[in-house]
Amino acid sequence: MPTIKKIINDPRNVVPELIAGMVEAYYGQLLVRPDGTPYGTFIHFDLESRSIAADEIEFLRETVPLFMKHLT
């Protein structure tokens, strides 16, 4: 999943005026069941435009499996 520094510039954002002034940056990672099927998305979002540091991304990637243990 992508790290988006400024969500208003994300081409997948189909209605930018709905999120303007709310979510500015995000990191998302797909949640996958043990059989490989998608479950949902783990998302960290920020209220200001910023890059997410590599160590924060690594922390988020390490956190996802902990959530999956409780969701499946």
**What are the extents of the domains in the chain?**
3-71
Pairing, β 3-4 against β 38-46: unpaired
pLDDT at 54: 87
Q: Which helix (H) or strand (E) holds 3?
A: strand 3-4
**Identity of the residue numbered 25:** A
pLDDT in tens, the chain (72 residues): 455 556 666 666 555 565 666 666 778 888 888 898 988 888 887 777 778 888 988 988 888 888 888 876
